[in-house]
Structure 1
Amino acid sequence: MPYDITLRGVRHTFANLRELLAKASPLRSGDQLAGLAAESSEARAIAQHALADVPLAAFLEDLLIPYEADDVTRLIVDTHATSAAQAAFTPIAGLTVGELRDWLLSDDATTDRLTALAPGLTPEIVAAVSKLMRVQDLIAVARKCEVVTRFRTTVGLKQRLSTRLQPNHPTDDPAGIAASILDGLLLGSGDAVIGINPASDSPQSVLKLLAMIEHVRERFAIPTQSCVLAHVTTQMRAIEQAAAAGTQAQLDLIFQSIAGTELANKGFGITLDLLAEAESMAASLHRNPSQPTPNPYSLIPNPCLFYFETGQGSALSAEAHHGCDQQTLEARAYAVASRFSPFLVNTVVGFIGPEYLYDGKQILRAGLEDHLCGKLLGLPMGCDVCYTNHAEADQDDMDTLLTLLGAAGVNYIMGVPGADDVMLNYQSTSFHDALYLRRTLNLRPAPEFEAWLASPHFEDLKRLGPNPTALLPLASGNWPTGT
């Protein structure tokens, strides 16, 4: 279905909604690489004018990827066809993309109304409206959203900022990991999750690292969650191996990277059915103390057992983008996340590289877009404010994005020793960066973690001083692998 607009007597035609969205997208090196970007700023502005006039109903009819060819499309369409989604969509059904933008920025778009609207929006709609927004618009609308999840801590409350403590080590050395955990905890980091990217993707490594986190958490009564960011199938095998040994894997959150097309997810080695199987296995462990009862604070229902990561450009890098722009596909990944009611969702905004987000300006814009789109869809969004060393970006760019995300109400950020991940070889945010943001914007940790920081258990931790090996449960070659 073509889309036309006449400006200054000149008619401009876009072959379909897919092309229009791509041409209207703010400049991305990934879209240029794919041959999808507007050829000039003027062409981009024309596309944005045309996009503003598109009725929201068109996104339900003009599918970017055919229904029969893509399970993410089927998920989006079938979910929106439910009675709850239709009821949520009805108040905005007659609007255009431009009119939706205006409403989102109005005083009528309150936190409660945005929460009620979330089931009625589709990823393509939120991607479209974000393309028409300035940076201040992305912040202003996201700030009104509140998406709260609960495990041992409650993450996402207004005027709160949580962190993922990321104690990675290039060889999974227990002393090195322990040093990073101790450093992070002493600086108030870790209330969202203690999450380790393992150097070895094996069930044995997963179980050992989980056991280490569990030992620290129980010894000092720390209200937090654990996660080892191995492939989902590795985590599933870890659960099975622990059960076969007569124990239980000490696994709180299942991790997986996800994308916005079926083909890209297959590149990650996953399907929607596999994620459902993993969720069932994690639920059988009954690790979430809030699991038996509905969460009274949030749109997200319990058990909240997933930690998902996404990133603009992942579908293009897998040659699985179907001619769609990378920002729209990123929003489609959030439909996959929504299906599983996650505890945390993290856009790793600058990690994939300058082939997709070339410089600090593109990374900054992408991070704010991702955060807004996820929040509008009802997801508990965090952001890894990061860049690779070959990107045209530096720590000043990251300070800017960090501050803007804090103003936008981001649920959580990363806490990496020195902001330099020595295992993944990229630059992120440090424990001190989180302290800066909390102090500057008067933000506080999750309430349970805040209480722990004032408890005798935290005083006990402080007495360890410069001795992180005291955190280790046993000699590194003889760690327990279950309870």
Structure 2
Amino acid sequence: MAFRQSVAGTTHVFQDLRTLLARATPFRSGDALAGVAAQSGAERVAAQRALADLPLKHFLNEAVIPYEADDVTRLIMDGHDPNAFAPIAHLTVGGFRDWLLAAPPEALPPIRRGITPEMAAAVSKIMRVSDLVAVAAKCRVVTRFRNTIGLAGTLSIRLQPNDPTDDARGVAAAVLDGLLLGAGDAVIGVNPATDNVAQVMTLLEMLDGVRTRFDIPTQSCVLCHVTTALLAMERGAPTDLVFQSIGGTQGVNESFGVTMALLAEAQSAALALQRGTVGQNVMYFETGQGSALSADAHHGVDQQTIEARAYAVARAFDPLLVNSVVGFIGPEYLFDGKQIARAGLEDHFCGKLLGLPMGVDVCYTNHAEADQDDMDALLINLAVAGVTYIMGVPGADDVMLAYQSTSFHDGLTARALLGKTPAPEFAAWLERMGIGDGAQIPARMAPALIGLS
């Protein structure tokens, strides 16, 4: 179905829904590289106006990627809940924006399963930054494993103690640094420098040893490939969460070496361990705009819509944590701080609207046109928007992945400015240990962490 819209005496024609969504997207370098971006500001405005007038029901009748060609499309279409959709079924995309801005927080959870990722992406494209913040702030998604993440008034932090050689002492030093500064309630999560079972098991055992020794109410994770995690679990590794990068098309996920069946197998294996104490959300997913173009698996769909489709995959597995690593892939996809900020707020909005415990890695690579001031602005916007969690990296500089993120101090600043706390169980542990409010870490704890004794 073609869509037509006139702007300043010129009629713009968009041949199908996929094209309309792409042309309506605020400009970003990845869409230009893929050849799907609007060619002018006038064309973008025309597409946004046409999109605003489009009934939400249309998204149930036209798929941006054919049903028979893509298992993510099948997941989206087969999982749509018409009863949840009923309260908004009469709306256009523009009307949906107005409805979301006016709706009380309690009206949003009942419609989650009625919203397709493409609907969420569409409405985000006609929203200003303040709209994205205002609506996301009303979306509350709570998950549990050893603590409770996502409660109102909380901001969790993933403690990211990466080391370029997976040296256990380097990892432990970063863990100590983070715990001293109140980080780690989302997860203590290490990106391994080498993805092999023996190294993953060594890191898992070290992290679990620290956690159990000090009775820390949190979860640990080594962010290896899901197949490595399955092998580690088979060998008895103390595995809390299963991690995997995912995308919004079947082709992207195949490029990551995963299928829906493989993710389900990993979830079942982790659930069978029964390691959670207050809940059993055992999956951890990361996403990021641009991965589909990198894999040549975007089908002509803009990167933000593909990103929203990844959230359908995540939603199918009841994860504890999901985060958009928003600026990590590079300036080919998000060129500068302005594009990174917009994308981060869109991703957070869409994830929360669809019912995910959404975090954002507020980050950029060193060859992007961005700096830490851009990240500070995005961090505060996300904190106001109720982001579930952010990253805590020593000095905001990941020495293994070689990118810039947010520091432990940045997380403390956001909490202090907005009166937010860690997850309640973790906050109580910090108080018991004398950490926080200027208190020093107990002398008995530091040598045990650093010396691994």
**TM-score, scaled to structure 2:** 0.97
Report deviation, 1:460: 9.6
1:7 deviates by 3.9
* Deviation of the 1:6 alpha carbon: 3.3
8 Å contact 2:326–2:362 — kept in the other structure? Answer: yes
Q: CA offsets per residue over residues 21-64 of structure 1, 9 Å max, x none?
A: 00000001000000100011111111100100111011111110
Correspondence 1:260 to 2:248: yes
- Alignment-mate amino acid for residue 275 of structure 2: R
Q: Aligned partners of 1:393, 1:427: CA distance in 2, in Å?
A: 10
Instruction: Give secondary structure in 2 for the equivalent of 1:307.
Output: strand
Is residue 43 of structure 1 aligned with residue 31 of structure 2? no
Structure 2 matches for 1:305-324, cutoff 5 A?
305-324=282-301
Residue of structure 2 equivalent to 1:105:
101
Query: What is the match of residue 271 of structure 2?
Result: 283
Aligned match for 1:463, one of 429, 438, 443: 443
Choose which of 123, 136, 146 in structure 1 pairs with 2:117: 123
Equivalent residues in 2 for 1:138-177, closer than 5 Å: 138-177=132-171
Compute the RMSD of aligned alpha carbons: 1.4
Change over 3 Å in CA distance of 1:279–1:457 after alignment to 2 = farther
> Equivalent residue for 1:294?
none
Instruction: State the partner residue of 2:192.
Output: 198
The question of whether the paired residues in 2 share the 8 Å contact of 1:182 and 1:468 is answered with no
Question: What is the alpha-carbon distance in structure 2 between the residues aligned to residue 228 and residue 174 of structure 1?
Answer: 13
Structure 2 matches for 1:329-478, cutoff 5 A?
329-456=306-433, 461-464=441-444, 467=447, 470=450, 472=452
The answer for the alignment partner of 1:184 in structure 2 is 178
**1:11 shift after superposition:** 2.7
Q: What letter matches 1:33 in structure 2?
A: L
Q: Percent identity?
A: 63
Deviations 1:312-357 (A, max 9, x none): 0000111000000000000000000000000000100000000000
Residue number in structure 2 paired with 1:298 = none
User: In structure 1, how many angstroms separate the alpha carbons of the residues matched to 2:255 and 2:240?
Assistant: 25
Q: Which residue number corresponds to residue 15 of structure 1?
A: 15
Q: Distance in 1 between matches of 2:451 and 2:422?
A: 23
| Paired residue secondary structure (1:119) | helix
Q: Secondary structure at the match of 2:368?
A: coil
Aligned partners of 2:67, 2:445: CA distance in 1, in Å? 58
**Runs of 4+ with deviation above 3 angstroms:** 6-10, 456-461, 464-471
Number of residues of Structure 1 aligned to a counterpart in Structure 2: 450
Which residue pairs with 2:76 in the alignment? 76
**TM-score, length basis structure 1:** 0.91
Q: Which runs of 5+ in 2 are unaligned?
A: none
Counterparts of 1:217 and 1:466, CA distance in 2: 13
User: What secondary structure sits across from 1:373 in the alignment?
Assistant: helix
| 1:272 aligns to 2:260 (yes or no) | yes
CA distance in 1, matches of 2:92, 2:422: 39
- 1:314/1:352 contact within 8 Å kept: yes
